[in-house]
Amino acid sequence: MSFTYRNGILHAENVPLPELAARHGTPTYVYSTAALRARLAAYVEAFRGIDPLICYALKANSNQAVIATFAREGAGADVVSMGELKRALAAGVPARKIVFAGVGKTAEEMRFALQHGILQFNVESEPELRLLSDVACGMGVTAPVALRVNPDVDAKTHAKITTGKAENKFGIDMDHAPGVAALAKSLPGIALEALALHIGSQLMDVAPFRTAFARLGALARQVNAAGGPALRRLDFGGGVGVGYAGEAPPDLRDYAEAVRSAIAGLGVGAILEPGRSLVAEAGVLLGRVIRVKEGVAKRFAIVDTAMNDLIRPTLYEAWMPILAVSEPRPGANRALMDVVGPICETGDYLALDRELPPLNAGDLFVVGGAGAYGAAMSSSYNTRPLAAELLVNGDQVAVIRPRQDIDALIAGEKLAPWLTS
């Protein structure tokens, strides 16, 4: 395992975390190269025989070093903005392995992606399709398109991260999809090459995948039967969920079997767009206790790690594991406490009513599962500098994002001319 106790001290691969805290400070994100590679390898192994293109979803963690680690293992990229597209290209992802998703692509973004020759645009509405046609024709090129459909499948996950129900903003309604597919085949500058879906993040059951994938396969057969060039690919969206509280995630082999059933007899390739499941457990957020406050009704561990560093607990009510860096003694007393940050918000917490071993002022701790949607969603709220990010590879450590400098943060802002006299 990549994060383990050795002689009573939590390590990232071969590096003790107290050493990282002493050298780089806290809060700091720490990622494991071995864990990143192992999780991607698990997908490759489970899908052997299907051999899909695995396009890492950059939104989970868009650090250049993380993207490059996957790119060197043969992965592509799933992007949702021109910024993410530029990140993927800069990290060495070939354009022919990049999928551009998202409901709000602009003409500027479309032009940039067409200039670089990406694999496909996941188009989510008829107006987007018509705009892409206009942009492609204006450039004298053809845009490779996948229609993203909404299968109206409840992923049984948090309301803010489910994306495949009829009331969600994503995708084209299944009943309208054949008509939009016919339109795509008729529009100049458009090559309809694929169908796509994505029903949400953090799925812990394969059943919704099976239902959604079966509907996608049936639609693909209907689209092919209508005539014109046959579809070349089906894009099955994001991967399986993560067991933050120790629960078992879906078996990747069962997930692969759902894909295998959907594409049977179609003669198409497959694309997967996992994000969270590749990076979440490959990273921790390392922090330090500032002080312990004994309230009237609660005990608080006030820490230097706040909602600006990790917003998932307050935004999604997410439960994330918290571990002391010094391994608790067997049988150590545990007590209920809230782990809270220094930001001036009641919502600034990492855990509420959590039963934890003793945490005292100066103690180091980690938030586990923080490799996904941690640093990528962080901010400088309360003028708190963005945390450092480190990548560990065996006994090697690289700073892959330095801690933001407060003076530089302030210097990036300018006074209006009438305020300078």
From the list 344, 408, 411, 415, the catalytic residue is 344
Distances (CA, A) of 92 to 70, 86, 88, 96, 293: 10, 10, 7, 11, 48
Q: Which residues face 3 on adjacent strands? A: 12
Q: Is 344 a catalytic residue?
A: yes
Place of tokens 């694309």: 271
Phi, psi of 123 (to 5 degrees): -85, 135
Half-sphere exposure of 162 (CA within 13 A, CB side): 18
With helix as H, strand as E and coil as C, how does the chain read? CCEEEECCEEEECCEEHHHHHHHHCCCEEEEEHHHHHHHHHHHHHHCCCCCCEEEEEHHHCCCHHHHHHHHCCCCEEEECCHHHHHHHHHCCCCHHHEEECCCCCCHHHHHHHHHHCCCEEEECCHHHHHHHHHHHHHHCCCEEEEEEEECCCCCCCCCCCECCCCCCCCCEECCCHHHHHHHHHHCCCEEEEEEECCCECCCCCCHHHHHHHHHHHHHHHHHHHCCCCCCCEEECCCCCCCCCCCCCCCCHHHHHHHHHHHHCCCCCEEEECCCHHHHHHHEEEEEEEEEEEECCCCEEEEECCCCCCCCHHHHHCCCCCEEECECCCCCCCCEEEEEECCCCCCCCEEEEEEEECCCCCCCEEEECCCCCCCHHHCCCHHHCCCCEEEEEECCEEEEEECCCCHHHHHHCCCCCHHHCC
Identity of residue 347:
G
Residues 6 or more apart from 305 whose CB is under 8 A from it?
A: 26, 27, 285, 287, 288, 341, 350, 367, 387
Structure tokens at 204: 């812990």
Tell me which residues are annotated as active site.
344
